[in-house]
């Protein structure tokens, strides 16, 4: 039986000399969630083209609520722009995810819904960043990628993942605009 090809995160785990996993500790949890969804919604050929990106994932796991919020804002903005068939529930979840991310980036007023209550409470005991980074933001980003994947091909999904990697690699996070680029990326 042929051995299945690794996903990009499994390759990252080997490069980082971690145990074989698609959740390496050296990768930001939100970025990992995005990469898994891009992998799952790519064709076999598209998955192979993700593998050269593996070194860029190394060392992205730095904390900071702004890093998580920027990734969510980028993915949700991309999904909301790309999707034409959003149901009311999906539209509402994406809107709340975007509003929460922008609030955390100090670009919007306090979000509606549960985030309005849990953010201030958890901030007082220094738990809002780990909760958002490890649980809430990965779910928001994953749903956004799934929505975007309905109308995106391998090239656009890979482009979104590259944008996320560049966003975390930027030295000055303030200069980054977490908005999607709608034009199709150049094929290289």
pLDDT score for 57: 97
Indicate if the pLDDT at residue 1 is higher than 80. no
For residues 98 and 111, give the distance between their C-alpha atoms in angstroms, rounded to a whole number.
Answer: 9
Average pLDDT over residues 73-89: 90
Q: Is the pLDDT of residue 132 over 90?
A: yes
**How far is Cα 62 from Cα 77, in angstroms, rounded to an integer?**
23
pTM of the model: 0.87
The pLDDT of residue 183 is 43
Q: Which has more pLDDT, 141 or 89?
A: 141
pLDDT at 142 over 90: yes
SS3 169: helix
- Among 79-83, 103-107, 179-183, the minimum mean pLDDT is found in 179-183
Q: Higher model confidence: residue 146 or residue 87?
A: 146
Q: What residue segments make up the domains of the chain, in order of their start?
A: 8-174
Q: What is the pLDDT of residues 17-38, one digit of tens each?
A: 999 999 999 999 999 999 999 9
- Give the pLDDT score at 35: 98
Q: Is residue 103 classed exposed, middle or buried when 0-12, 13-18 and 19+ CB atoms within 10 A define those classes? A: middle
User: According to the model, what pLDDT value does residue 186 have?
Assistant: 47
């Amino acid at each position: 039986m042929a051995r299945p090809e690794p996903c990009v995160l499994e390759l990252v785990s080997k490069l980082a000399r971690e145990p074989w996993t698609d959740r390496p500790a050296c990768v930001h949890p939100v970025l990992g969630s995005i990469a898994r969804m891009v992998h799952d919604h790519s064709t076999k050929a598209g998955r192979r083209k993700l593998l050269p990106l593996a070194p860029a994932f190394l060392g992205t796991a730095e904390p900071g609520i702004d890093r998580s919020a920027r990734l969510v804002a980028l993915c949700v903005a991309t999904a909301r722009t790309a999707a034409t068939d959003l149901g009311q529930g999906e539209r509402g979840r994406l809107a709340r995810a975007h509003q929460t991310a922008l609030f955390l980036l100090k670009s919007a007023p306090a979000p509606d819904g549960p985030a309005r209550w849990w953010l201030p409470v958890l901030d007082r005991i220094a738990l809002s960043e780990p909760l958002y980074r490890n649980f809430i933001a990965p779910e928001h980003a994953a749903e956004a990628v799934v929505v975007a994947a309905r109308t995106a091909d391998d090239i656009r999904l890979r482009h979104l993942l590259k944008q996320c990697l560049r966003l975390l690699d930027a030295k000055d996070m303030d200069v980054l605009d977490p908005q999607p680029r709608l034009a199709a990326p150049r094929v290289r």
